[in-house]
């Protein structure tokens, strides 16, 4: 699962909603890690007005849909609620640490969408400064442990256990319903 490109940042609200709809695949004392093995939602691209008559796809409409949506890269997002980190400087420090952690671990992560969510705040008594080096070190170590503990085999095992228990796989399409019997 080696990726040569740097992880890309998520910017679309729909991608964050898709990630928050699934259970976290990893947790630490302060963070939750979500993963979806899908490509991000792409905004429709408009066909240029001047060259529409020259294109072979001009009859299909003004929007061009992507042909392949299989994930081939790592996209990540970070959610740092004000409830857990009140100072903007602290939230910025946390986001910078998340970006650098994804840069370090991109080669070992599965392709798809990733989200690191701050689920508990850091104690102000332990880290009085919003941008203390001690806070940066603690966050870096916790993120490295969280991303380093994620393994594709563990994710596949969770999917197998869920399927064995009767739960659908995360990306599975539900089976069609049988037709309702007609009244006699």
Alpha carbon of residue 149 to chain centroid: 16
Q: Does residue 25 belong to any structural domain of this protein?
A: yes
Parent domain of 147: 8-41+70-158
What are the beta bridge partners of residue 75?
A: 8, 113
- Is the Cβ–Cβ distance between 172 and 37 less than 8 Å? no
What is the CATH number for 25? 3.30.230.10
| Domain membership flag for residue 182 | no
Backbone dihedral angles phi then psi of residue 34, each to the nearest 5 degrees: -115, 145
Specify whether the CB–CB gap between 58 and 38 falls below 8 A. Answer: no
Q: How much is the pLDDT for 81?
A: 95
Q: How many CB atoms lie within 10 A of CB 158?
A: 14
Token pair 């792409």 in the structure block, residue: 42
Backbone φ and ψ for 94, nearest 5 degrees, come out as -65, -45
pLDDT of residue 82: 94
DSSP alpha helix (H) spans, the chain: 13-20, 88-105, 133-149, 152-164
- The mean-pLDDT minimum among 33-47, 100-114, 132-146 falls in 33-47
Instruction: Return the higher-pLDDT residue of 158 and 6.
Output: 6
Q: pTM for this one? A: 0.69
Does a structural domain hold residue 118?
yes
| Total count of residues recorded for the chain | 184
**pLDDT value at residue 72:** 79
Does the pLDDT of residue 142 top 50, yes or no?
A: yes
Q: Which two tokens stand for residue 46?
A: 């408009």
Task: Check: CB of residue 36 under 8 Å from CB of residue 113.
Answer: yes
Residue 181 scores a pLDDT above 90: no
* The total number of structural domains that make up the chain: 1
At 14-69, the pLDDT tens digits run 999 999 999 999 999 999 999 999 888 876 665 566 555 555 555 555 544 455 55
């Amino acid at each position: 699962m080696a990726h040569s490109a740097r992880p890309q940042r998520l910017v679309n609200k729909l991608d964050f909603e898709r990630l928050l709809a699934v259970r976290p695949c990893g947790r630490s004392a302060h963070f939750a890690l979500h993963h979806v093995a899908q490509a991000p939602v792409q905004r429709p691209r408009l066909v240029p007005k001047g060259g529409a008559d020259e294109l072979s796809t001009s009859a299909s409409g003004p929007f061009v849909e992507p042909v392949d949506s299989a994930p081939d890269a790592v996209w990540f997002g970070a959610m740092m609620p004000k409830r857990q980190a009140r100072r903007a400087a602290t939230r910025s420090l946390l986001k910078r640490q998340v970006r650098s952690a994804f840069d370090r671990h991109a080669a070992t992560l599965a392709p798809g969408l990733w989200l690191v969510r701050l689920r508990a705040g850091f104690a102000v008594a332990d880290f009085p400064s919003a941008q203390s080096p001690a806070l940066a070190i603690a966050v870096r170590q916790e993120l490295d442990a969280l991303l380093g503990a994620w393994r594709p085999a563990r994710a596949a095992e969770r999917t197998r256990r869920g399927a064995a228990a009767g739960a659908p796989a995360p990306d599975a399409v539900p089976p069609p319903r049988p037709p309702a019997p007609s009244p006699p």
